[in-house]
Structures are given as structure tokens and as C-alpha cells.
Amino acid sequence: MRLEPLQDFLRLCSEIARSELPASQLLEKAIEACRSAGLSEDFARGFVGLVLAERERASGEKEGSGLGLREFASKAREMQESGIKVYRLELGEPDFSAPPSVIEAAYEAMKAGYSKYGPAAGIRELREAIASRLSERFGADLKAENIVVTAGGTFATYAAINVLTKPGDEVAVIEPAWPLYAHQARYLGRRVLTIRTSFEEDWDPVDKLQEKITKFTKLIIINYPNNPTGKILDRKSFEKLLEVAEDAGAWVVSDEVYIDFHYGGEPASALEFPSSKTLTLNSFSKTWGMTGWRIGYIVADPETAGKVAAAQNTAMTCIPEFVQRAALAALEDVESARRNVELIGRRLKILYEELSRSKLIDVKPPQGAMYIFPKIKVEGFDSWKFVRRLLEEKHVAVAPGASFGAYDNYLRISAVLDDEDLREACRRIRKGVEEYGSS
Ligand SMILES: Cc1ncc(COP(=O)(O)O)c(C=O)c1O
């Protein structure tokens, strides 16, 4: 083998590390250079993908570790603990706790000795119960082999990215988005392709995805009902989105942790569209107020499910069995789930009505999830500066739009306080925006 082409290829890699060109163009160049060096196209994709992922990771590090919102929440908590009444609407955590039926089931399971190591995929009873409920609800044909019980939705997305892609691969994230998708992908050495949707276009993802997806996109993460916008996707749009992914040969991870929270339209689930390249995930955190219990699940073909179970086995052995038995009780407690969903819906309506009263705030009627994502009509609005000031001066904590992508003109407000407190918080937010606008 002549070495000059290989040297040219390595030179190109170092150019890539510094270049501003879009990743897909750089990959095309690299594949070309690889061909003349007598190397395979797969080698080019893999090796250059890694260089690009490292370039992205390095620039991502400058933007922060993704812990900004958590640190901000700690500050709000400290203020609260010092005796100040703080209206806390910054986190995606329901204020209701697990229902008594769930706590009782956990206690009984502990007493009965369900506290040993268990199967990495989860106990069969729970996997079967999840499979049968989902099959009934979405007209799917699922068995226990399709289900893996995970440490919340958070580990489900992490494991999904890990098993469905390789380091250097491109993962598409539709923004605004839950910040952990991009952080997890980068942490695992994947590249992130950001698909930006807009308020003006009703947060519609389909055309944007079609426009931006590349032949290097291996995985698309979608989340409807959406955090932070609350958008739900109807059946037709969902189908179209899956078609775009299928044409590109990409996997789809459908994060459906808010699928129970819908107010008006009926959200579609990926489970309604049988496809070999879809992984769906859900969690007990939101519907039953079980955030700290750390339990969720993935639904996939048995081979993929096996890989997720293996990832979980490697990382944490299994989910505690008494927690899984409590989750079984949660599935039975349909009434608590219904009450929680109704409660959030009523509060979202209050948030919508209260925020609509300001000329400086543009807000869409809530469709789903637990949030409202108003647009602030103030030129040059800096969402981080605003939320810090709002906490200091008005004792209200909300999340800055900047945490969810390039959405500095937005705020995310969670429907996690009682009606009267929500009204008072909104009054303070309106005042805060007016003051910011005139400063
Ligand atoms: C969109 C989305 N996915 C997944 C999660 C993870 O939730 P958990 O790990 O508690 O199941 C959250 C939590 O806020 C979320 O908003």
C-alpha cells in the first residue's frame, strides 16, 4: 500500500477537527479521501465520525454540562429552606407522590423478601402486565420478550442510544427538547444533528426532519406529547415522520413518558405502527408521581430488548424487585393515574389563561404533557438572565427556554403547584416580564 493517500486522509482528519463545514459535507470529503487511500467507506464513516463527535463534544463542554437547570433548582430549594416562600415551577417533577396503593405494595414486597438480585430485563409478571396493557391500548401484539424494565426513562434513552448506534454515529434530536437526549448522545461519543422546530409553525417536526436528515443519521429521537412545548402528534403526522425515518434507514426512539397527559387531541404512539426499527419507552415517574422510584421500560423487538437488558445488566444488575412489584400495583391503580392527569390538565388551563393576559407573552393552548412554553415578546430577551432575576426578585422559579435548545425567547413553566399558587406565580411572571421589557 502506498502511504501518501493515507497521509492525505490523516491531514484531512485534522482539517475536519478545525473546520466549520457541516458534518455531512465533511463525511462526504472523508469518504472520497478514504477511497483514494484504498480504505473502506465504513472505515471513513467510523473514523471521521469519531473526530467529528470529539469536535462536537469539545464545543459542547464549553456550553456547560447540562447541569445548569439542576443547579438553578438547588438555589431555589436553598431559598425555600431558608424560610422564603418560593413558587417552584422549574422542574419536570409532579408535586403529587406515589399513590398509597403503590407504597403499600412496595412495603408488602419488602416484607415478603423481594429484595434479592433479579433478572436484568425485569420480573416476568411486570413485563407481561406491561405487554398486555400496551397491546390492548394500542392494538399491538406484544409479549414479555418485547419489554425491558429500566431505571426510569432516563436510563431507557441512554441504553437505547448505546445499543442502536456506534460512537461517531449521527443522532437527530428534534428541538426544543429534553436536554438529556443531546447530553447522553454526546457523552456516548455520538454526534447530534439538531432539528429546530418553531412556535410559528406549530412546533411541527415532519418537514424540518425531512429537510435536515442526512444519509449519516442513524437514530431519531422523538417525544410527543412533548417536553417542553406540550405538542402532541396526530396519527397522520406520526406516520409521516416514521416514513421519513424509514426512507433514511434510521431507527426511531419514541419517548412517550407523557402519553397519558393529553388535553383535546389523542396522541399517537409508535406502538400503533409496527416497524422493526422503532424503540418506544415510557416511565412510571409522571403518571403516578414516582420520580424517585426510578422505574420505566422500553418496548422493542426481542433482539434489541435483549441488548438493552445486557446494557442494564452491565451498568446496574437489575431494578429492585420491590420497586417492580410497586409498579405492578401502579398499573392496576387506573383511578390515581386518571386523577393525576386531570389535575395537571386543570392547572395547564390556569397557566394558559393567566399568561395570556400579558401583551408581552404569546402562548398556545396546552395539548399535552405537564408544561407550557410561552414565547416572550421582548427584543433581546435573555432567558437565563430573566429566570435568575425572577427568582431573586419575585421568588418564582421557572426554566429558561435556553435549556431546551436555541430558544432564548421562551420559558418553560411546569404545572406542579396548586391553583392559587399558580395564579400568584403567573401574576409575578407577568410583572417580571413587563419590568424586564422596560429595563
Ligand atoms: C421527555 C422526558 N423523557 C424522559 C424523562 C425521564 O424521566 P424518568 O427518568 O424519571 O423516567 C423525562 C423527565 O423529565 C422527560 O421529560
* Residue 164 to residue 217: CA distance in whole angstroms: 12
* Residue 260 to residue 287: CA distance in whole angstroms: 7
- On whether both 52 and 85 belong to a single domain, the answer is no
- On whether both 135 and 235 belong to a single domain, the answer is yes
Look at 332 and 264; give whichever has higher pLDDT: 332
Q: Residue 8's CB: how many other CB atoms inside 10 A?
A: 14
**pLDDT (average), residues 144-157:** 98
Domain extent at residue 373: 68-93+336-437
User: Separation of 282 CA from ligand 1 center, angstroms?
Assistant: 8
**pLDDT (average), residues 172-186:** 96
- On whether both 77 and 203 belong to a single domain, the answer is no
Q: Using a 6 Å CB cutoff, which residues line ligand 1? A: 92, 152-154, 178, 223, 227, 255, 257, 283, 285, 291, 296
User: Separation of 124 CA from ligand 1 center, angstroms?
Assistant: 24
**pLDDT (average), residues 398-417:** 97
- On whether both 88 and 141 belong to a single domain, the answer is no
- On whether both 377 and 272 belong to a single domain, the answer is no
DSSP 371: E
Distances from the Cα of 427 to the Cα of 371, 400, 424, 434, angstroms: 17, 18, 5, 11
What is the structure's pLDDT at 3? 67
Distances from the Cα of 430 to the Cα of 74, 155, 437, angstroms: 24, 37, 10
pLDDT tens-digit map of 51-78: 888 777 776 654 444 568 989 999 999 9
Q: Residue 276's CB: how many other CB atoms inside 10 A?
A: 10
- pTM recorded for the entire structure: 0.93
User: Separation of 30 CA from ligand 1 center, angstroms?
Assistant: 37
Last residue of a domain, one of 285, 307, 332: 332
Domain of 73: which CATH number? 3.90.1150.10
Return the ligand 1 atom nearest residue 91 CA.
14
Mean pLDDT across the chain:
93
Q: What are the DSSP calls for 110-134, one per residue?
A: HHTT--S---TT--HHHHHHHHHHH
224 three-state secondary structure: coil
32 pLDDT higher than 60: yes
**pLDDT (average), residues 254-260:** 98
Q: Hey, which bits of 93-239 come out as E strands? A: 147-150, 170-175, 191-196, 217-223
Q: How far is CA 368 from the centre of its chain?
A: 15
Last residue of a domain, one of 300, 332, 364: 332
What is the structure's pLDDT at 2? 65
- On whether both 152 and 289 belong to a single domain, the answer is yes
What is the structure's pLDDT at 40? 79
Q: Which residue's C-alpha comes closest to atom 7 of ligand 1?
A: 153
Helix-strand-coil split of the chain, %, nearest 5: 50, 15, 35
What is the structure's pLDDT at 15? 79
- On whether both 32 and 175 belong to a single domain, the answer is no
Least confident span in 8-12, 129-133, 274-278: 8-12
What percent of the chain has pLDDT above 90? Answer: 82
- On whether both 55 and 73 belong to a single domain, the answer is no
Label residue 26 by pLDDT band (50, 70, 90): confident
What is the structure's pLDDT at 439? 81
Number of domains present in the structure of the chain: 3
Q: Which residue's C-alpha comes closest to atom 14 of ligand 1?
A: 92
Last residue of a domain, one of 306, 332, 358: 332
**pLDDT (average), residues 383-392:** 97
**pLDDT (average), residues 232-251:** 95
Q: Which long-range contacts (CB under 8 A, 24 or more apart) does 376-384 make?
A: 376/409, 376/410, 376/411, 376/433, 377/409, 378/409, 378/433, 378/436, 378/437, 381/408, 381/409, 381/436, 382/408, 383/407, 383/408, 383/409, 383/410, 383/411, 384/68
Label residue 387 by pLDDT band (50, 70, 90): very high
